[in-house]
Structure 1
Amino acid sequence: MAIMIHRRVIPFAAFLLWAVVAPGVVAAATVVEDVRTWDGPTHTRVVFDLSGSPDHRLFTLDDPARAVIDLRAGRIDPALVEGIRDAGPIQRVRTGRREDGIRVVLDLERTLEAQAFTMSPDETRGHRLVVDLGKAGEKPPLRTAERESTEPFVVAIDAGHGGKDPGAIGAAGTHEKDIVLAVARKLADRVNAVSGLEAVLVRDGDYYVGLRDRTRKAREAGADLFVSLHADAFHDRSVRGSSVFVLSRNGASSEMARMLARRENKAHRIGGVSLSDKDKQVASVLVDLSRAHTVEESLDVADVLLTELDGLGEVHGNNVEQAGFAVLKSLDMPSVLVELAFISNPAEERRLKSSSYQHQLALGLTEGVRSYVATTRPTLALGDSTKEYRVRRGDTLSAIAERHSVSIGALRRVNELGGDTIVAGRTLRIP
């Protein structure tokens, strides 16, 4: 029978059922505070946020396929799992009450290997019970609390174009390849400043890298996320704003996305590498069969990045776009393409050339990555990349922001300022 807790008072007798651990021994209940799922390329993960250290047991059953978690002296509001439907191989999640606690049942579409481990509280989260389900007949990757908390999340940063391929060229002669490399380097610095994150630059100089070689280099670096940076262009110079794209399985989501995909994919011929080799159709079939999960994950991170870019300035369109970019055809990692702004717009071209604005873009993208990682890798403790500055007499918020290459809005947010008034002697956090 499902547990109906919600906000009503639990009868005293029922409370004793929850709390009894052994005859004569009463312990505080371990409350399940939240349940989160993540469906990845190699395994599906379920994370239980708990009020205390769990005493648990995990096992699997067949006919029908199920994974069962018993939590001794546990309590849960069934509403936490009611919305979990079709999360990877998990068809639904049910809860039930036992004499010594609760039972959580994951109804599966097929029999899977399962393993569980616990995580102790850190700076951002409390106790956690993590359940991993293997996929495609494989065991889930063996992870321990120590390994999970120390392995960095690797971000491959791809500065588009380069070398003989300048990319788009602004009205003042600014080359896209130079702008995106400058932002990529600043983004790498920001990412590396966060404990738990690690940046890998696909291109760290003015040279050309073939589209397939870009994702290959990311794979060789063990990247968990691929971010390709570009600067947009259009014949109408009044068009402006940032955009975030992910791979589309069924064509582009707008005419702008179609035009942009054609322009970017032509760069593959400049490097002397063709997508039309004899294995193209075989590769396309494999991509169609294997990339669905990475498209969904890519949409998740793209949504977060677009929100951060919207906080820095205007975005082009209200949603994440989808297009057939060759550089995003990676089978084993979420991948996004960020158009930082329209280099064909004279005002945005000037902003893109500004080192201060490049720093702001890098900061916003880093915060987006942090938010995404906090959701998909809940057991990874991320450090704080902020610095501190003591306000001096005569300082203004705008001058401090310019000095540290951050936006005034970012300073207000991290310091919870309602305006621009600051007092000498106060310590500000610099993101």
Structure 2
Amino acid sequence: MSEDAAHPLFTAYRPNRRTLLQAGSLALLLAGKQQIAFGASIMAVRVWPAEDYSRVTLESDVPLVAKQTLIQSPPRLAVDIEGLQLNSALKELVAKVRPDDPNIAAIRVGQNSPNVVRLVIDLKQDAVPQVFSLKPVASYQHRLVFDLYPSKPVDPLEALIQERLRDASSHPDLPPGLSPSPSAPAQDPLGDLIAKHSQPNAAPPTPAAPATSTATAPTPAAPASKTPGSSMTASPAPARKTDRIIIVALDPGHGGEDPGAVGPKGTYEKDVVLKIAKLLRDRINKSTVNGSPMRAYMTRDGDFFVPLGVRVQKARRVQADLFISIHADAFTRPSAAGASVYALSHKGASSTAARWLADKENQADLVGGLNVRSQDKGVQEMLLDMSTTAQINDSLKLGTALLTQIGDFARLHKPRVEQAGFAVLKAPDIPSVLIETAFISNPDEEQKLRSPTYQVKLADAMMDGIRQYFIKNPPLARSRTV
């Protein structure tokens, strides 16, 4: 026995089994935290610009911990990300910012301290940032997402006006919707709105109120005139309601972080359906039905993600008369083929395949990356089944008209409109359908979807189906306050 051990104040420490197990668990816990805090590797970085909002995504092998500070003047978002070393993937962010990004001016990255990378996002306008994390899903690992919403959101009716103004500027001799002379009737009631909007110091339009079933067309104001002998100039006529502009909401599926289905040759569903939607938009904007001009409104016109509930909300804000969601199907077997049209169902899916597809499409928010905590009550309600029997019946009529036209040249997967609980079709007051244009997982149909000629055929068929629906089912009278 040693001299120290023989000392009466010395007591030998002999840990028991429980103490050893606790110490081992603590060591493993600390090691796990060390991996999260200091072992992260950036796998990819992405920037998605859009008028609605701009998104920055950092994808990593483990969750990232970030602290953000919004600075008002000049507007910028500073983010400190723990456990990172500045690498080439992070540096790529600087070059990924596009000059036409409406929200982000530039991104700067730097090693703020040995284990902290600072990310500074310079903004073009005041923004409301949302920073959140997403767990691994589909082909993605952990994602840290920065959504930058403009403080003054883009109004969908304003977007329609600006689009119409751009169309008018391309035809200076006779802008669409504007009459060639004061005495001639307007070709497009939206022209009155555009003329008012073009006046100096014109006030921005008021967002539309929810749709009403019927309304009496307002009596046009009498033209202002000068009093004899008066030198005063006549004041412009007061703003009036524009009556019976038929608005069709087009909803290209997926987008941004969510590519949708991917074909054997690497064709992204989100890209194909956006091209088809733009072709259909051009046809709608040049069309009239029963003397009423038509306008298309797109839930997305670029490569960015839109949550399912927001897609429905956008269509309701512009008081759309129809809602058409455009997709390209995929299945585990490449032999699956044919186009399909779907409406909502109150009583469950009309087939096992319809239920499977609805479940798959309803997962878009998980893949695209939705900050669930940021959803307001109105958007959450869009995901509830608020549809009416009348809406579903009208949707079935619209779907049948579309399916008939598409079936004239394309193979159909099912000869009738199918039904299932698609979240994106749950607008209570808008006939809504989802079109699966073809199976992008089928090599032959993928090749067709890549063909501009076939895309034109699809757009023409959809336009004919929309026109046939309105001929048989004229839209209710409706006034839109602008």
Superposition TM-score, scaled by structure 1 size: 0.52
Aligned partners of 1:157 and 1:199 also within 8 Å: yes
Cα distance in 1, alignment partners of residues 285 and 409 from structure 2: 21
Letter in 1 for 2:460: L
Q: CA RMSD in A?
A: 3.0
Cα distance in 1, alignment partners of residues 401 and 244 from structure 2: 23
Aligned partners of 1:148 and 1:379 also within 8 Å: no
Is 1:207 equivalent to 2:304 in the alignment? yes
Letter in 2 for 1:321: E
Counterpart of 1:169?
Answer: 262
- Residue 161 of structure 1 aligns to a residue in which SS? coil
Counterpart of 1:216?
Answer: 313
- Correspondence list, 1:356-367, <5 A: 356-367=453-464
- Residue 407 of structure 2 aligns to a residue in which SS? helix
Aligned partners of 2:309 and 2:383 also within 8 Å: no
- Check 1:336–1:378 CA distance in 2 against 1; reply closer, same or farther (3 A cut): closer
- Residue 339 of structure 1 aligns to a residue in which SS? strand
Is 1:333 equivalent to 2:430 in the alignment? yes
- Residue 182 of structure 1 aligns to a residue in which SS? helix
Letter in 1 for 2:457: Q
1:186 to 263, 276, 279: 279
Aligned partners of 2:308 and 2:383 also within 8 Å: no
Aligned partners of 2:214 and 2:476 also within 8 Å: no
- Check 1:379–1:298 CA distance in 2 against 1; reply closer, same or farther (3 A cut): closer
- Check 1:328–1:145 CA distance in 2 against 1; reply closer, same or farther (3 A cut): farther
Letter in 1 for 2:434: L
Aligned partners of 1:237 and 1:346 also within 8 Å: yes
What is the CA-CA distance between 1:306 and the residue it aligns to? 0.5
What is the CA-CA distance between 1:322 and the residue it aligns to? 0.2
Aligned partners of 1:244 and 1:320 also within 8 Å: yes
- Correspondence list, 1:367-378, <5 A: 367-377=464-474
State, as a whole percentage, how many aligned pairs show the same letter: 44
1:324 to 421, 424, 431: 421
2:441 to 331, 335, 344: 344
- Correspondence list, 1:87-236, <5 A: 140-143=214-217, 151-195=244-288, 196-236=293-333
Q: 1:271-295: CA deviations, max 9, x gaps?
A: 3155998979x9499735x522111
Counterpart of 2:394?
Answer: 297
Is 1:310 equivalent to 2:390 in the alignment? no
2:359 to 254, 262, 269: 262
Letter in 2 for 1:287: D
Letter in 1 for 2:458: L
Cα distance in 1, alignment partners of residues 376 and 317 from structure 2: 24
Aligned residue pairs: how many? 241
Aligned partners of 2:382 and 2:427 also within 8 Å: no
Q: 1:312-349: CA deviations, max 9, x gaps?
A: 21111111000111101111111000000000000000
Aligned partners of 1:149 and 1:379 also within 8 Å: no
Counterpart of 1:383?
Answer: none
- Residue 365 of structure 1 aligns to a residue in which SS? helix
- Check 1:254–1:172 CA distance in 2 against 1; reply closer, same or farther (3 A cut): same
Aligned partners of 1:229 and 1:340 also within 8 Å: yes
- Check 1:247–1:321 CA distance in 2 against 1; reply closer, same or farther (3 A cut): same
- Check 1:293–1:273 CA distance in 2 against 1; reply closer, same or farther (3 A cut): farther
- Check 1:378–1:235 CA distance in 2 against 1; reply closer, same or farther (3 A cut): closer
The structure with more strand, counted as a fraction of residues: 1
Cα distance in 2, alignment partners of residues 285 and 241 from structure 1: 28
Question: Which of the pair has more CA radius of gyration?
Answer: 2
Superposition TM-score, scaled by structure 2 size: 0.46
- Correspondence list, 1:390-429, <5 A: none
Cα distance in 2, alignment partners of residues 319 and 145 from structure 1: 44
Letter in 1 for 2:385: V
- Check 1:344–1:197 CA distance in 2 against 1; reply closer, same or farther (3 A cut): same
Letter in 2 for 1:163: G
Cα distance in 1, alignment partners of residues 373 and 409 from structure 2: 36
Q: 1:362-392: CA deviations, max 9, x gaps?
A: 0000000001111222799xxxxxxxxxxxx
Aligned partners of 1:328 and 1:336 also within 8 Å: yes
Cα distance in 1, alignment partners of residues 299 and 383 from structure 2: 26
The answer for unaligned runs of 5 or more in structure 1 is: 1-137, 381-431
Cα distance in 2, alignment partners of residues 152 and 372 from structure 1: 16
The answer for unaligned runs of 5 or more in structure 2 is: 1-211, 221-239, 478-482
Counterpart of 2:48?
Answer: none
Cα distance in 2, alignment partners of residues 179 and 139 from structure 1: 35
Cα distance in 1, alignment partners of residues 322 and 310 from structure 2: 16
- Check 1:298–1:169 CA distance in 2 against 1; reply closer, same or farther (3 A cut): same
- Check 1:240–1:156 CA distance in 2 against 1; reply closer, same or farther (3 A cut): same
Is 1:272 equivalent to 2:346 in the alignment? no
Letter in 1 for 2:308: L
Aligned partners of 1:161 and 1:167 also within 8 Å: yes
- Correspondence list, 1:380-391, <5 A: none
Aligned partners of 1:248 and 1:324 also within 8 Å: yes
